Amino acid sequence: MTGSLIPTLEGRYYTDPAIFAREQARVFEQMWFCAVRSADLPNAGDFRTVQVGRESVLVARDRKGALNAFLNVCRHRGARICVEESGTVKRAFQCPYHAWTYALDGNLIAAPNLTSMPDVDRVAYGLAKVHLREWLGYAWVNLADDPPSFEDDVLSAVTERLGTLDAIDGYEIDQLSVGRRIVYDVKANWKLIIENFMECYHCATIHPELTEVLPEFADGYAAQYYVGHGAEFGDEIKGFTVDGSEGFEKLSALEEERDRKYYAITVRPQVFINLVPDHVIVHRMYPLAADRTVVECDWLYAKEVVDTGRDVSRSVELFHRVNEQDFEACERCQPAMASRAYAQGGVLVPSEHHIGGFHAWLVQKLESAD
């Protein structure tokens, strides 16, 4: 192979259920996983269940206002506590099988005939807790007994991309409100989606609206290719909208040097952060099978934009089209991952070479000892 071309992962990495199971165990169940938008659970008793690796995780707000995360499993006989994706309970979670009942902080508080079993430790037999940390207005969970450093696992992605951690502060992402949320059910392996997001070699081919707004993307070099670089808007472009028309006021705390620029960050293993002057777009991936990934995409705006009902459709439409174009491309690739023509993998051109680092990272994760 020439120096211009370096190999990708072999096709089996995108199709083999055994490899996907190993990814669940060694990637998604060991790393910090962005689960829910904290503001989606504003009141005591609000909950959401999310799939993290092989586990259903229950995220809920307790009566003290704190978010907690638990494995969504009754400690009695293993029934699922909450079968709904989201909702609100008045006082406690109750298993629908034998009525074991848990407080919002996870402690066991009631069960049929529990008083006749005084030796049962209600804390020890409470719901199994999951580590949780809030950042950028999202609850990130970690299933490992001894979780890795949040700074090393998550925050470092910002430093690696933007040059400094505080470069993201001006967007005040935790203070923004969800103006639109779209959920995509993508029939493709999660790695194809990450690889697509990391490069722009495809941009001139399938993203006419995006390259109109960000002309440099037509040359094939994505913003993530350069540390600290933001892709500049075209000279005639007024805002990050589907037609280049004016968007909203620049976010109030944003530095002038970041105006009229787009930045993208990949936070492994399942988050994309897109930064533009007047809003932020956050993708969260939920890999459900070797060939299926649900992607939840939030468009975040200044609180007053959402509260006053201003029209966000033109800015939403730009990246919604980008998403649909990207996911269609990933779905086109997925069947070919099982082809004999791709058994040894494909190749990466120079503007995609940084994807090789992602591949090396993944292989190291999969080959590491339990």
Q: Do the beta carbons of residue 19 and residue 366 sit within 8 Å?
A: yes
Output the pTM of the full model.
Answer: 0.95
- Residue 1 confidence (pLDDT): 59
Q: Closest Cα to residue 322, out of 221, 230, 184?
A: 184
Residue 249, pLDDT above cutoff 60: yes
The burial of 151, by beta-carbon neighbours within 10 Å (0-12 exposed, 13-18 middle, 19 or more buried), is given as: exposed
Tens-place pLDDT, residues 224-245:
667 888 999 999 999 999 999 9
How confident is the model at residue 98, as a pLDDT?
92
Confidence of residue 197 (pLDDT cuts 50, 70, 90): very high
CB 178 within 8 A of CB 39: yes
Average pLDDT in the 297-325 region?
Answer: 98
From the list 350, 355, 346, 5, the residue with the least C-alpha distance to 195 is 355
> For residue 280, is pLDDT > 60?
yes
From the centroid of its chain, how far is CA 65? 24
SS3 34: strand
Query: With bands split at pLDDT 50, 70 and 90, how would you rate the model's confidence at 370?
Result: low
Asked if pLDDT for residue 123 goes beyond 60, the answer is yes
Q: What per-residue confidence (pLDDT) applies to 169?
A: 96
- Give the whole-angstrom CA distance, residue 68 versus residue 133: 9
| % of the chain with per-residue pLDDT over 90 | 91
Asked whether residue 305 carries a pLDDT value surpassing 80, the answer given is: yes
The residue ranking higher by pLDDT, 223 or 15, is 15
Mean pLDDT of 161-167: 94
pLDDT for position 175: 98
The token pair that represents 193 in the structure block: 């989606």
Radius of gyration of the chain (CA): 22
CB 354 within 8 A of CB 198: yes
DSSP per-residue string spanning 172-207: -GGG-EEEEEEEEEE-S-HHHHHHHHH--TTHHHH-
* Of the candidate ranges 85-99, 221-235, 319-333, the one whose mean pLDDT is the lowest: 221-235
pLDDT of residue 221 exceeding 90, the answer is no
Mean pLDDT of 202-210: 96
pLDDT tens digits along 350-363: 989 999 999 999 99
pLDDT per residue as tens digits for the range 44-91: 999 999 999 999 999 999 999 999 999 999 999 999 999 999 999 999
CA distances from 262 to 13, 162, 227, 285, 355 (A): 31, 11, 13, 21, 20
Q: Is 76 helix (H, G, I), strand (E, B) or coil?
A: coil
What is the overall mean pLDDT for the chain?
95
